[in-house]
Amino acid sequence: MTQHRARYCVQALLLAAFAFMQAPLAFAAYPERTITLLVPFAPGGPTDIIARILSESLSQSLKQTVIVENRPGAAGNLGMGAVARAKPDGYTLLLASTAIAVNPALFEKLPYDPFKDFAPISELADSPNIVVVRPDSGMNTIADLVARAKAAPGTFNYSSPGAGTKSHLTGEELKQRAGIDMQHVPYRGAGPAALAALEGTVQVASVALPAAEQLVQSGQLHGLAVTGAKRWPSLPNVPTMIESGYPGFISDTFSALFAPAGTPPEIVALLAQHCREAFANDKARQTAQSAGFAVVAGTPEQLAARLASEIPAVKALVARAGIKIQ
């Protein structure tokens, strides 16, 4: 080996060693600037509430500003597509709802692939749906509803916050599993859908829990069942769908944190850890519960597993029900 070649090799090794030494230091500096937490829905909704809880906690624990940016449109697809195209450096994150698992069944073309374009970080919280009727309806249980619908086929209507929502899918799953016929009446939001049952415009409403919780507590509506794995703490007398005779009937809405695919695994792990710490705080848990959410604060692996099971299950349900958005 010539002296010139040997000197070149030594310099190359020194440069490689320097780069190796600098890599951990670069990661250790994360985050060095403001983090954007993008919510693909309008301000004030359930997903936005969870985002505000998280941003406040992360700002404190990461000692860096975390801002919430709302970018609504196209059932959440606009904002999710923006994050899918963002630089995978940990400075643009997505606070998504169950839309990320439902929309692939509803839209032929999406500006993202839920598996390829995102790195799961943590399922933060989930919220069940609730099936409600008027107290004077004569229906006290899901079994009563099924019996009434079978006795008068084609005469039952049920409301939901809109076509393709998890509440709509809850109603369709009940129809399929119970073998009953109910006409779906979509509304613009869970509040109007719950009021439709209260006013008697429809016989039944399938809505997100927060929209009906106080109406059930006050006795204005009667809860037939919640669709979570367990009874809801503030509605201890309302059984689950599982308790009502439908094994495995869980239909909830989650709020979960994602990063663009390719984000360094060290950053994903760090954010997952801070998410768990954020929702271990009593104040955060109480705020989430008051908004109708139960805290999960799971791992990246758990969130990935949920997507892997939920996306094909929703596609199958939508196909059987013949639901079409486009």
pLDDT tens per residue across span 190-222:
889 999 999 999 999 999 998 899 999 999 999
Number of domains forming the structure of the chain: 2
pLDDT tens profile 242-270: 999 999 999 998 999 999 999 999 999 99
**Based on the number of CB atoms within 10 Å of its own CB, is 229 exposed (0-12), middle (13-18) or buried (19 or more)?**
middle
Report residue 38 as tokens.
């993008």
Whether 135 and 221 share a structural domain: yes
Q: How many other CB atoms are there within 10 angstroms of residue 77's CB atom?
A: 20
Cβ-Cβ contacts under 8 Å for 231 (sequence gap 6 or more): 238, 239, 240, 243
Tell me the pLDDT of the chain averaged across its residues: 90
In the 8-state DSSP scheme, what is residue 36? E
Whether 115 and 169 share a structural domain: no
Whether 75 and 152 share a structural domain: no
- What type of residue is 38? L
Report residue 321 as tokens.
């029900």
CATH classification of the domain holding 215:
3.40.190.10
Residue 242 lies in a domain: no
For residue 315, the SS3 value is helix
Residue 203 lies in a domain: yes
Q: Which of 191, 208, 226 is the last residue of a domain?
A: 226
Q: Which of 164, 191, 226 is the last residue of a domain?
A: 226
Whether 177 and 94 share a structural domain: no
Residue 178 lies in a domain: yes
Whether 217 and 289 share a structural domain: no
pLDDT at residue 9 in the model: 45
Whether 42 and 123 share a structural domain: yes
pLDDT at residue 210 in the model: 86
Strand residues in 71-172 grouped as ranges (E):
92-96, 118-133, 157-160
pLDDT tens profile 138-195: 999 999 999 999 998 888 999 998 888 899 999 999 999 999 999 999 998 888 999 9
CATH classification of the domain holding 43:
3.40.190.150
Residue 2 lies in a domain: no
Mean per-residue pLDDT, 233-250: 96
pLDDT tens profile 71-118: 999 989 999 999 999 999 999 999 999 999 999 999 989 999 999 999
- What type of residue is 2? T
Residue 119 lies in a domain: yes
Q: How many other CB atoms are there within 10 angstroms of residue 43's CB atom?
A: 12
For 18, the enclosing helix (H) or strand (E) is helix 3-28
Q: Which of 186, 209, 226 is the last residue of a domain?
A: 226
Question: Binning pLDDT at 50, 70 and 90, where does residue 28 land?
Answer: low
Residue 282 lies in a domain: yes
Report residue 52 as tokens.
């505000």
Whether 262 and 123 share a structural domain: yes
Whether 99 and 146 share a structural domain: no
Whether 41 and 104 share a structural domain: yes
User: Under a CB-based contact definition with an 8 Å cutoff, are residues 212 and 194 in contact?
Assistant: yes
Whether 117 and 260 share a structural domain: yes
116-119: long-range contacts, CB 8 A cutoff, minimum separation 24: 116/261, 117/84, 117/260, 117/261, 118/83, 118/84, 118/94, 118/258, 118/259, 118/260, 118/261, 119/88, 119/258, 119/259, 119/260, 119/261, 119/262, 119/263, 119/268, 119/300
Helices 300-321 + 265-278 axis angle, to 10: 80
b/e 231-244 (16+ beta carbons within 10 angstroms → b)? bbeebeebbbbbeb
Whether 177 and 217 share a structural domain: yes
pLDDT tens profile 267-313: 999 999 999 999 998 888 888 888 889 999 999 999 999 999 999 99
For 295, the enclosing helix (H) or strand (E) is strand 294-295
Residue 118 lies in a domain: yes
Whether 267 and 210 share a structural domain: no
Mean per-residue pLDDT, 46-59: 93
Distance between CA 198 and CA 81 in Å, rounded? Answer: 38
For 116, list phi and psi in degrees, rounded to 5: -85, -25
Residue 235 lies in a domain: no
Q: Residue 191 belongs to what domain range?
A: 128-226
